[in-house]
Structure 1
Amino acid sequence: MKDNSAFAKANPASKKISVAFYNLENLFDTQDDPETLDDDFTAEGYKNWNSKRYTKKLNKLSRVISEIGHEETNSSPSIIGVAEVENKAVLQKLIETENLEDLGYDIVHYDSPDERGIDVGLLYLKEDFEVIDSETVSVYLESEYGERDYTRDILHVTGNLMGVRTHILVNHWPSRRSGVEESQPKRITAAQKNRMIIERIEAEEPEARIIVMGDFNDGPHNESIKNHLVQKDLYNPMVFLNTRYEGSLNHDFEWYLFDQIILSTNFMRMHENTLRYDKSDIYNKHHLTEFKGRFKGNPFRTYAGRRYLGGYSDHFPVYCIFKHL
């Protein structure tokens, strides 16, 4: 059997990397922002959020981030998209924790118009990814009363991933809180906005490498993903990961895979491909789960309603492994 570690040492250009996505479940600081609905996450708020709990959450999340894909790559993720972060400052605090401070992460983040003040962002290892450009793209939605319904922007980052020009779209689509059927058109609109970005990219770069990631609040088989986002130019490797026994989140004792990473098909090309897709997985190690009780095996979350549990997140991260040849 070939010794892969010896092979890698003999061929320094040969390397495996991971790309991940993680919904961080309400990563708020402790300060009240008068422009957003963040009052719950203050010391006087509904959840009694304070510096001790904030620091504990940062340390827990940073531990997870440092671990994702490490067994396969011997490294933390080259890129990790995140959702449910209040601002750039909380991401800066995150990468300054003991678990991440020496790894060389940097941040791409923009404030978006979401009423709760939660955004998406991108963390990246400067050694593996060079940012060329970034932008946010708004998703225009309307409420049933014809008023604008503000949601998270799409983050579009262009850069060189292991020297390969790559476009990354980070998403957090509208929730199902008002009902699955009632809210579905909003997620279809978000999917269509992603298609507009993708088609604009492909018009300028016909062989563009594109990674679409996010918490889509829909699974691989839902209409927004299957019929509106994933066309012949994209491949969804996550379609095989969602089973009755596993997913990235659990609701009413049913598993869902709302967190996904979708790839342009050129990542699958077998020959003359310096950055090739290898595998996907859900990072659901035992220490990220509830250890006992009715919810044993579910993601160990920070809060259940207003009750503080002290966990990580109500979502598991997902990730893809790539071979850099």
Structure 2
Amino acid sequence: MIKNKRILISLLIFFSVIAFADNTNKTLRVATYNLENFYDRYDDPYNSKDSRIDQNTAPKPARELYALSKVIKSVNADIIVLQEVENRGFLNEFNNSYLRELKYKYVVLIEANSSRTTRGRGIDVAMLSRVPIYSATTFQYYKFPLNRKSTASFSRDFLYVKAKPEGFPELNLFVLHPISQRGGAYAHYRRIAEARGAGEVISKELGKEKNAWIIIAGDFNDSPESESLKTYLNIPGIPLKRIPAYDSKRKKFTFYAKSGGYPPSTLDHILVSKPVEKALVKPEAKIWNDKTAAIASDHRPVYITLNAPR
């Protein structure tokens, strides 16, 4: 009987060690990618700006769609947040036709301010995920001070998604795409205002959770040294860090600047809370930089890989 007990205890210890080892080997990859004018081929007869080359809303060419699929498959993220997506229907079609092997079961896109207003380009933020998602909240109607006299809302949205990867704590993901730099001084101050608004949202949602796993990702339309980035990194009570990103040649740019007279620059970022930073496999993010990426979009994807906590 004593011998049997010893065998049982040994087996329990053995399987506990295996379970522990399996958990420590688990990783999670999170990416952000601006798909550049991911417009469908269907014309909206009630929108005079839809499917127009002169309005920069022409359908995404098949060559670029194929290139996008190659890049996304190469990155192979468990969760990938996206910018410049026209609608959920087209994203679903692309996912089912081009990305089936990646098994992105969860698709998130809530049409927001860029789609609702006549001034917008009809592009939204979105997410594809293999990880179970159980909550998605839009803050498109959230108002924050723009200046002393007026308020504003997010240019696209500030999308808040909760996910629960196996072996990981609850993940709080925020996806953004502030106004571009083409708006000059107004856009500059608007991006700072959006950063303050984002800080208010995060403080209200997670201010009391000191150990929350938080990731903010997207096309910030601003450089690492910008005032808006500094604002995101100085949310009271919620310290966040921008993860420096490099490609295989140690170059930092994420935006090719194919046209418009802008130089290549670093506009796409991933910001994380302390618990996420501690879980990084490496203390830096990666930028995907093969030749296909230059065909797919004017941006390059950025991604981090996390270890499951022990």
Q: TM-score range by the shorter chain?
A: 0.7 to 0.9
8 A Cα contact 2:37 2:57, kept in partner? no
Cα gap change, 1:314 to 1:10, in 2 (>3 Å):
same
Q: TM-score when scaled to structure 2?
A: 0.77
Contact 2:242 2:271 in 1 (8 A): yes
Aligned length: 272
1:177-196 alignment runs, 5 A limit: 177-179=182-184, 181-196=185-200
43, 64, 68: which is aligned to 1:61?
68
The residue correspondences of 1:10-159 to structure 2 (distance < 5 A) are 11-13=21-23, 14-33=25-44, 34-35=46-47, 37-40=49-52, 49=58, 54-68=61-75, 76-98=76-98, 100-105=99-104, 106-114=106-114, 115-125=120-130, 129-138=131-140, 140=143, 151-159=155-163
The aligned residue for residue 304 of structure 1 is none
Report the equivalent of 2:241: 235
Q: Secondary structure at the match of 1:83?
A: strand
Contact 1:267 1:277 in 2 (8 A): no
Deviation at 1:256, TM superposition (A): 1.1
Q: For 1:276 and 1:246, how far apart are their aligned partners in 2?
A: 19
Q: In the TM superposition, what is the alpha-carbon distance from 1:151 to its structure 2 partner?
A: 2.1
Deviation at 1:62, TM superposition (A): 1.5
* Alpha carbons 1:58, 1:97 under 8 Å: kept: no
Select 1:317's aligned residue among 289, 292, 301.
301
- Contact 2:179/2:221, CA 8 A, preserved across alignment: yes
Task: Report what 1:260 is aligned to.
Answer: 269
Contact 2:71-2:292 at 8 Å conserved across structures: no
Show the counterpart of 1:303: none
Structure ID, larger Rg: 2
List alignment gaps of at least 5 residues for structure 1: 1-7, 69-75, 270-274, 289-299, 301-310
1:171 aligned partner: 176
Name the CA distance, whole Å, in 1 between partners of 2:87 and 2:172: 22
- Distance verdict in 2 for CA 1:156–1:35, change over 3 Å: farther
| Higher normalized strand content (fraction of residues) | 1
Q: Could you say which residue in structure 2 is the equivalent of 1:292? A: none
**Could you tell me how far apart the structure 1 residues matched to 2:267 and 2:210 are?**
29
How many angstroms does 1:49 deviate by? 4.2
Deviation at 1:35, TM superposition (A): 4.5
Which letter maps to 1:123? L
SS state at 2:225 partner:
coil
Q: Helix, strand or coil for the counterpart of 1:56? A: helix
**1:220 Cα deviation from its structure 2 partner:** 1.1
Distance change >3 Å, CA 146–CA 36, structure 1 → 2: farther
CA shift, 1:255, in A, is 2.7
Query: Matched residues in 1 for 2:20 and 2:253: separation?
Result: 38
Structure (1/2) with the larger helix percentage: 2
Q: Is 114-123 or 278-287 further displaced after alignment?
A: 278-287
Q: Amino acid of the residue matched to residue 41 of structure 2?
A: T
Whether the 8 Å CA contact 1:244–1:255 is kept in 2: the answer is: no
Q: CA deviation at 1:265?
A: 1.3
> Which residue, 203, 209, 212 being the options, matches 1:208?
212
C-alpha distance in 1 between matches for 2:49 and 2:197 = 26
